[in-house]
Structures are given as structure tokens and as C-alpha cells.
Amino acid sequence: MGKRWFNRLLPFGLPLLLLIAWQLLTTTGWIAGNILPTPAEVVRALIRLLGTGELVENIAVSTSRALSGFAIGGGLGFLLGVVNGISQLSEKISDSSIQMIRNIPHLSLIPLVIVWFGIGEEAKLFLVSLGVFFPIYLNTFHGIRSVDRGLVEMGKVYGLGRLALYAHIILPGALPSILVGIRYALGIMWLTLIVAETVAADAGIGYMAMNAREFMQMDVIVLSILLYALLGKLSDSIAKLLEKRWLRWNPVLSRK
């Protein structure tokens, strides 16, 4: 019982130590207040923004942008990964072009995207969608191509049709790789959104940070950074929970 609780609390050890170090360095004067505010000042900024409703509104806007872009880019990446993983003809037609586009840093397209879409929601959705597309596509494609062909042949011997093979053997076999792609894409999702919102936005966490910079509100800037970190951690935790639930049959995960 004690060991189980220790294992649950262990991941919080390093963040707690960092918080203590932050408090000591800022309150003793080792780090000036105009460079990094104290944790108490950040908490006060949190309470103040919650009271005005500004924080909840900006979190809702950023979350909506992130999830919408993830749904669009992730959905397209998954579908194309499945098609190319199954069909060699489709792979020959499209994979080379996808790989060339993948090697272009998607954030370098921001000036072009602003010309195309302006500074509205379309630009941010395009960037987030493009960022999450490639890791999900690659991992879906790799997962399907890595399925044990012996299992596929066994399914055919037992009389499974094409749809049943995909539903019961190919997609479940590719699922571990697909979920890895999803976790990686979630990180890129928030990274892309941070940059997109600080370049051109009129709402969202990034806009809140840039607006605070104009008035040298360091507490709000640090709060914005922490919010991105917490939202990223929450997304990753949800993905890990789904991984454990959907991959109960995996002997590696069952031992965790």
C-alpha cells in the first residue's frame, strides 16, 4: 500500500522541488522581480483573472482552437495513413509528396499563411492541423505496415473477410503505434498554437501573454506559460489513459 502511494507521488517530486527553488530564488533576491515573479504573485494574477472571467474565456478559446485543429489534421493524417498503409499504389502516388512537405518546418509558413488566410481563425487552424498531420500519418502508416503478416494469414484461414481483418487484426495491431503518434502530435499541437497565438490573435492564452508583455505584467506572462504546460500535461495524461484502456491486451502495458 505504501509503495503504491509512493509510486503515485514520485512524479510530483521534481516539480515540487522546482517550485521550492523558484520561491527561494525570487524571495531572497537572487532573481529580480522584473525578471521572474514569485509564485505568490502568479497565484494572485490567477485569482484576479479568474475573477474578471478573462482567464476562463482565453483558455476556452485556445482549447477550442487546439482541439479543432487536432481533429482536422489528425483525422486526415489517420485516414491517409490507413489508405497508404493498405494500398501500395496509394503510397507510390502520395507518400513522396507528403515526405517533401513534412521536411518544411510548418511554423516557417506563418508569413505565407497570414497572406492566405489573414489573422483570423483559419490561419491558426491551418497551422495546427498541418503540425499534427504528419506524426499521426507516419505512425499510422508504420503501425499498419508493421502488423504481423502471420496474424493476417491466420485471420484469413479462420474465414475473416476484408472488413473483419481490418477491424479485428490490422487496426488493433497498429493501435500502439497510432497512439504514440497521437501523444507526439498533442505536443506539437500546443507548440504550434503558442506561436500562432503570439503572432496574430485577438483572444487566447498566447494573446493574453503578448498583451501582458506590452504592460510588463510578468506575473501574467509566467501564468500563461504555466497554463500551456498544464494543458499539455493534461492532454498527454488523457492520451496515456486511453492507451492503457485500449491496449489492455498488450503484455507490456499490463505490467505497468
pTM for this one?
A: 0.81
- Does pLDDT of 116 surpass 70? yes
> pLDDT by residue (tens digit) across 49-59?
888 888 888 88
Number of continuous H segments (helices) and E segments (strands) in the chain:
13, 0
Please identify, in words, the CATH class of the domain defined by 41-246.
Answer: mainly alpha
Composition of the chain by helix, strand, coil, percent to 5:
85, 0, 15
DSSP-derived secondary structure letter, 161: -
Place of cell 502530435: 185
pLDDT of residue 89: 86
Question: Where does the pLDDT of residue 238 fall: very low under 50, low under 70, confident under 90, or very high at 90 and above?
Answer: confident
- Does pLDDT of 92 surpass 80? yes
Answer with the residue of higher pLDDT: 129 or 211: 129
- Does pLDDT of 256 surpass 80? no
pLDDT of residue 200: 65
Per-domain residue ranges of the chain: 41-246
